Structures are given as C-alpha cells and as structure tokens.
Amino acid sequence: MYDLLIYLTCIFICDRVGLLRKKKKLRQEQLAKKYSIPVKYLTEYEDDKVSPTLNIAVRVADILDTSLDFLACRIDDQPSSLLLKWSAEIDRLSDRSREVLFEAMDAIINSDKLKDLYDIK
C-alpha cells in the first residue's frame, strides 16, 4: 500500500511540474537549464520514468514559485509566491510578534467567513 501511495504521489508531482512549467511558458530545455540538469532527466522526470531527489524537488519548487506541499499534492491550492516569501519572514519574527500576527489573520479570516455566511457585502 505504501509503495502505491509513493507511486501515485510521484505521478501527481510529475503532472504538476509539467503543468506549472507550461503555465510559466517554459520549454523543458529552459527549465532544465535553470535546474542545471540534462533535458533528458527532466523529460524522464515529467514522464514518470525517474523520481527526483529531494534536492531537485526543492529547486523545482523554487524555480516554479510553489511549495513542495503543492508539488506533492499535500495541498490542492498553489500558494502565491508572496505567501511563500512571507512564510520565511514570519519564521524570523519573535514569538510574540507571530502570535499577534496570527491573531490578526484569524480575525480577518473569521470576519470574511461570517460575511460570506450571512451574505454581507
């Protein structure tokens, strides 16, 4: 069962890499050059013939402005590159600053949910 899960995850990763590459209007040659890997390797990767190393997967995510979670289908919505940048910045904040930020974010999100629930504009 575990092997099947790994296999299916790899298929989804390969699909998402191809999808994001096309969305950015990059040819395989251009993306392979940014990875510093042979085009043949990228082609085999997108065709699910080769599994990426963690190092390659991280570089792919960085180049395609996405997260490993999105590539691995752990989340369905692709995070924005701004959100990814902020994530690193938030990690550097003091505990108290992070707490205040998260409380403010929760309040805004809950407010929007209530507006949607009661159809308030």
**Which residues, including other chains, have CB under 8 Å from residue 68's CB and lie 6 or more apart?**
57, 58, 61
Q: What is the pLDDT along the chain (121 residues), one digit of tens a residue?
A: 444 444 454 456 677 888 888 888 989 899 888 878 788 878 887 887 877 788 888 888 888 888 888 887 777 777 777 787 888 899 999 999 999 999 999 999 999 888 887 877 7
**Which residues, including other chains, have CB under 8 Å from residue 71's CB and lie 6 or more apart?**
13, 16, 17, 57, 60, 61, 64
Is 47 in contact with 106 (CB distance < 8 Å)?
no
- DSSP for 36-91? TS-HHHHHHHHTTSSPPPHHHHHHHHHHTT--HHHHTTS-SSPPPHHHHHHHHHHH
**Which residues, including other chains, have CB under 8 Å from residue 13's CB and lie 6 or more apart?**
52, 57, 71, 72, 73
d(CA 83, CA 50): 30
- What CATH number was assigned to the domain covering residues 2-79? 1.10.260.40
Per-domain residue ranges for the chain? 2-79, 82-117
Question: Tokens 């959100």 — which residue?
Answer: 83
**Amino acid sitting at position 48:** D
pLDDT value at position 106?
A: 93
pLDDT value at position 82?
A: 78
